[in-house]
Amino acid sequence: MKILWINPVGTAAFDEYIGDILKEGSRSGTKVDVVSLAEDRPKHLESHSYEAMVVADIVNITYQNNKKYDAIVIGCYYDVGLREAREVSGKAIVTAPCQSSLVYASFLGNSFSVLVGRRKWISKMEENVIGYGYGRGLCSMRPLGLGVHDFQADRDKTQARLLDEGRKAVEEDGAEVLILGCTIEYGFHETMQDKIGVPVIDAVIAPFKLAELMAETAEKFGWYPSRKWGSEPPSQKEIDEWGLFKEKESTYNYLTD
């Protein structure tokens, strides 16, 4: 099984760390590659205008690689470009952190809270939770007052903030499960589980493990992505005639297993 993880930002700073997490958590026989975008792309996606700038990259990478990988993971909790990438993924499964985390949380408890970096993120993330059909179980989205590049810069500060807001989410908001609402909040879930006593869903592990499961079920039972009605892909004739998705893979930074 081959899985591609897309870090949809213009920096390779997180590629190696995330690659190590994926390899450590992967099944025997799973090969993992990581790709990030060119340096002229935003270094984080905290602004929705930045999101818009990278959707084309996500779609291009997915289209270029849909025959090379069994599954592709978009590594941003906004699930940026998820629907668009699924249109051109062929038989490859495409997952993303928010939807995947909600799937796991729904099996582990009746209610959940999401610990996000900044208050700005909440409106988009709430829209996704409701759109995926999990709004009824959402207790709260608690901001930590930290940006994407703050989480790993001072891990002690990040852990303290996560523990503080996590306890409040459980004791005050009624959450039975906690979700870390950013892929760069990696490396904290085990300590939080030990200290708070509820399941804590890591936003890197959840979409990756779901991608493994879905790729396995696709191979064994033929559960490949639907290509009917709303899931209909764009016309290959149009793609060829209009010269779409021609950007070369060398534009991106690949970290291969």
What is the per-residue pLDDT for 255? 87
What is the per-residue pLDDT for 249? 58
Q: Apex CA 121: angle with CA 120 and CA 123, to 5°? A: 90
pLDDT (tens digit, 9 = 90+) per residue, 184-227? 999 999 999 999 999 999 999 999 999 999 999 999 999 999 99
What is the per-residue pLDDT for 186? 98
What is the per-residue pLDDT for 248? 63
Model-wide pTM > 0.85: yes
Closest C-alpha among 19, 15, 51 to residue 36:
15
Order of strands across the sheet that contains 93-95:
93-95, 71-74, 2-7, 31-36, 253-255
**Contact (CB, 8 A) for 199 and 177:** yes
Write down the domain spans for the chain: 2-96+205-255, 98-201
Query: Under CATH, which number does the domain 98-201 receive?
Result: 3.40.50.12500
What is the per-residue pLDDT for 65? 96
What is the per-residue pLDDT for 256? 83
**Contact (CB, 8 A) for 181 and 172:** no
* Topology given in CATH for the domain delimited by 2-96+205-255: Rossmann fold (3.40.50)
Residue ranges in the chain modelled with pLDDT below 70: 247-250
The encoded tokens of residue 101 equal 């985390």
Is there a shared CATH topology between the 2-96+205-255 domain and the 98-201 domain? yes
What is the per-residue pLDDT for 251? 77
What is the per-residue pLDDT for 191? 98
What is the per-residue pLDDT for 178? 99
User: What sign has the CA pseudo-torsion 47, 133, 116, 193?
Assistant: negative
**Contact (CB, 8 A) for 134 and 102:** yes
pLDDT (tens digit, 9 = 90+) per residue, 168-188? 999 999 999 999 999 999 999
